[in-house]
A and B are shown apart, each in its own frame.
Chain A
Amino acid sequence: MASGAAEKGKALVDGSESAAESAARWAREWSTWAMKKAKVVAHYGFIPFVILVGMNSEPKPRLAQLLSPI
């Protein structure tokens, strides 16, 4: 991210950064990493999650009904 790179540049130039700045930078990077992982999980796991919830609802449908085309 452009703002992250600028902050890193500033830290290198200054030679030191305060605890608050480093904590904010760590929180931002960690939240971006978490959002990226959450997006991948949601992308691959949402439809299986819906099928799981549906197959466990009452009355329970059979697996053959899930896979057959009729």
Chain B
Amino acid sequence: MGSAASAAVPPPPPPAQVQAGSLPYGPGLAGILPPKPEGEEKKEEKKVDYLNLPCPVPFEEIQREALMSLKPELFEGLRFDFTKPLNQKFSLSHSVFMGSLEVPSQSTETIKVPTAHYEFGANFLDPKLMLIGRVMTDGRLNARVKCDLTENLTLKVNAQLTQEPHYSQGMFNFDYTGSDYRTQFQIGNNAFYGANYIQSVTPYLSMGAEIFWLGHQRKSGIGFASRYNTDKMVGTLQVASTGIVALSYVQKVSEKVALASDFMYNHMSKDVTASFGYDYLLRQCRLRGKIDSNGVVAAYLEERLNMGVNFLLSAEIDHCKKNYKFGFGMTVGE
């Protein structure tokens, strides 16, 4: 009664401190109690079944994402393609091209040849048999056949036949697909023989090797390739005894955007090329652009105007060689 109530209210007791991330049992108990079983379950989910790996991509398509993004079919002039489907599997195609084609030359100058041609094609596409033939007005035939001989064995034939003798080329490929490997044997004209083998090593990594033999020039070569593939990125490496080292990396940034880069070193000609490009897959268009270490800038646009009608624009600018290529075209039908 006489005690003066102090103005200071005693502080409330400190709340029970919850330490996030602390051990649920004190450090002293860690050595005694067994580790939590949840950690073991997580490890088992990630455990790889090495006897059940996925089938790798074919050896020649090891760099397909990079090639699709960085090497569109650039052209100069006018291009018009019309595909007429007669059937679910059978279609005819008519194609007109008027413009310049570049002829490979030894000197630094580019040689352009103005050409105009009409190409008629017939396509038969069946799951088991694919026949594609294209014939031009000058008599050149471009034929591709893909036939499933058995469930795992496929025969592919690729031929360019010309009216002039000794200019025709043909290649027969026999592909065998196993559970986690692929192997291919090739026979071509000029006594070309080749074989390659690719194997899935982990769910993400596949490695392969190839050898080839050119009969008429008595040249042979061996190469090694590997590909690391996840949902978001693809990285490949290729080394060949012809002195070529090629690396590529593609990153899928989102559903609509992919970025790709490519590096090639040719030991024989001491040539180094690096390129970097993007690939936008939008609803109405597909735009691909790239820039090169040689100073070449290129872009390719496919705009969907209507169902089955595509408008194409292609551009390639090389200031160093003074080579400017602009083309436009239209594709009707798939």
Of A43, A57, A66, A70, which one neighbours B124 at CB under 8 angstroms? A57
Closest B residue to A36 using CB positions:
B165
Stretch of B41-49, B83-91, B197-205 at the chain-chain interface: B83-91
Cross-chain contact A51 with B168 (CB below 8 angstroms)? no
Q: Closest residue to B142 on the A side, CB-wise? A: A46
- State which residues 89-123 of B face A: CB under 8 Å: 89-92, 120, 122-123
Q: Which residue of B lies closest to A55 (CB)?
A: B90
Does any Cβ of A come within 8 Å of B222's Cβ? no
Closest residue of B by beta carbon distance from A68:
B84
A65 engages B133 (CB within 8 Å): no
Interface residues of B in 206-230 (CB under 8 A from A): none
Q: Tell me whether A39 and B168 are in contact in the complex, defined as CB-CB below 8 angstroms, given that A47-B135, A66-B86 are known contacts.
A: yes
Is the C-beta of A6 less than 8 angstroms from some C-beta in chain B?
Answer: no
Tell whether B159 is near chain A: CB-to-CB under 8 Å. Answer: yes
The chain A residue with its CB closest to the CB of B90 is A54
**Residue pair B86, A46 in contact (C-beta under 8 Å):** no
State the Cβ distance, B190 to closest chain A Cβ, in Å: 12
Q: Which residue of A lies closest to B126 (CB)?
A: A57
Residues of chain A with a CB closer than 8 A to B159's CB: 42
Beta-carbon contact of A46 and B124 below 8 Å: no
- Beta-carbon contact of A42 and B161 below 8 Å: yes
B161 and A43 contact, CB distance less than 8 A: yes
Q: Which residue of B lies closest to A44 (CB)?
A: B141
Q: Tell me, rounded to whole Å, the shortest Cβ–Cβ distance linking B167 to chain A.
A: 11
Question: With a CB–CB cut-off of 8 A, which chain B residues contact A61?
Answer: 86-87, 90
Min CB–CB distance B132 → chain A (angstroms): 8
Does A34 reach chain B (CB closer than 8 Å)?
no
Q: Is B122 touching A50 in the complex (CB atoms < 8 A)? A: yes
Min CB distance A32 to B, Å, is: 12
Q: Which residues of A contact B126 (CB under 8 A)?
A: 57
The residue on A at minimum CB distance from B141 is A43
Contacting residues, chain B, for A60 (C-beta < 8 A): 87
A50–B131 CB distance below 8 A:
yes
Give the residues in chain A near B133, CB-CB below 8 Å: 46-47, 50
Question: What are 23 A-B contacts with C-beta separation under 8 Å?
Answer: A39-B161, A42-B141, A43-B139, A43-B141, A46-B133, A47-B122, A47-B133, A47-B135, A47-B141, A50-B131, A50-B132, A50-B133, A54-B87, A54-B90, A54-B91, A54-B122, A55-B90, A57-B89, A59-B88, A61-B86, A61-B90, A65-B86, A69-B84
- By a beta-carbon cutoff of 8 Å, the part of chain B in contact with chain A is 84, 86-92, 120, 122-124, 126, 129, 131-133, 135, 139, 141, 143, 159, 161, 168
Which 8 pairs show the lowest CB-CB distances between chains A and B? A54-B90, A61-B86, A50-B122, A43-B161, A50-B131, A47-B133, A54-B124, A50-B133
